[in-house]
Amino acid sequence: MAERVLITGITGFVGSHLADYALSRGVEVYGVQRWHLSRRDNVRHFQDQVSWVDCDITDPIAAREMLDKVAPERIFHCAAESFVSPSWQNPTRYMNVNYNGTLNILDAMKQAGSTAPFHIPGSGEEYGEIRPEELPITEETVLRPVNPYAVSKVAQDLIGYVYHKSYGLNVIRTRTFNHEGPRRQKVFGIPWYAYQIARAEAGKGPRELRVGHLDDRRNFTHVRDIVEAYWLATEHCLPGELYLIGAEAESHVHTFRDCLDQLIDMSNESGFSYETVAEFVRPTQVPYLIADTAKFRAVCDWQPKVAFEQILSDTLDYWREKIATNLD
């Protein structure tokens, strides 16, 4: 029988790409959806190949019944509130989904005696206020989170560690740095720039682009490389250990201003300008998120394959297609 793989957050950005990857490996994919809220935009091309399970992970009873029903042999926990900006106005919501939702699944696994690898995809945002002399970030770098989202992800990660140490659960802990590509919501930086450019190209929007803070520096990885890394993590990483994931080559390290300028250069139109608008600027900034991923690369024999320029062009083409078909 094919391996049973459970993906929470399957209708989202990373979850849908992870499902693509898992299906290509011939496994049986179970996707968690909230019957009244989940949108199918990202999964229509494979929705008939997935076994769907209704579950709100913030409900412990629902989480336990979901786990008992599926009895998964591998779990990827992609469900999360992931857009940073609203976390200041909704800190309880972020903690409820990111921490309590994770806790509910962990507790259900403990009660079921599950030995499945349970992957928790943490975020580079957890590191927060990093000083230039502390770069590159490693597994030992001090955490100084500066937004409620980051705090909720720290809590998620550490409760996973607790359930590994206390109950022996097979928890795989990673922290992933900026990853981009098709299907990411336009509330995030690069897709927001690409969306505005694509609308302007189609004659549906202005060429004066509205942006937030542009000078934070990141290492960027294509989502397709990231989901391969997640799969390898569940096969090779030691439970309870922490691993950082991302493309650290200099060719993948850029500011958001670099990204915006390159996207404009990729456009088939000219005359673009941009201005920083207060509503897109966060109360606190994270100037540097640049990782040393040597530990993960050594264990998993993983290297990102997709060039930085392809990340941008794939994102721009995605929004061009959405706008051309009036699906934006």
Give me the domains of the chain, ranges plus CATH numbers: 4-179+221-245 (3.40.50.720), 185-218+250-289+306-324 (3.90.25.10)
Tell how strand 221-222 and strand 179-180 pair up.
parallel
Q: Residues with Cβ < 8 Å from 299, sequence gap 6 or more? A: 236, 237, 238, 243
Q: How many residues does the chain have?
A: 328
Q: What pLDDT score does 7 carry?
A: 98
User: Residue 300: which of 244, 251, 219, 223 has the closest Cα?
Assistant: 244
Q: What pLDDT score does 38 carry?
A: 75
The reported pTM is 0.97
Using CA atoms, how far apart are residues 83 and 12, in angstroms rounded to an integer? 12
Element (H, E) at 311: helix 308-324
Using CA atoms, how far apart are residues 173 and 208, in angstroms rounded to an integer? 41
Per-residue pLDDT 10s for the chain (328 aa) are 899 999 999 999 999 999 999 999 999 999 999 877 678 899 999 999 999 999 999 999 999 999 999 999 999 999 999 999 999 999 999 999 999 999 999 999 999 999 999 999 999 999 999 999 999 999 999 999 999 999 999 999 999 999 999 999 999 999 999 999 999 999 999 999 999 999 999 999 999 999 999 999 999 999 999 999 999 999 999 999 999 999 999 999 999 999 999 999 999 999 999 999 999 999 999 999 999 999 999 999 999 999 999 999 999 999 999 999 987 8
Phi and psi based region of residue 271 (left: phi greater than 0; alpha: psi -120 to 50; beta: remaining): left
Using CA atoms, how far apart are residues 14 and 16, in angstroms rounded to an integer? 6
Tell how strand 253-255 and strand 217-219 pair up.
antiparallel
Using CA atoms, how far apart are residues 127 and 138, in angstroms rounded to an integer? 10
What is the gyration radius of the CA atoms in the chain, in angstroms?
Answer: 19
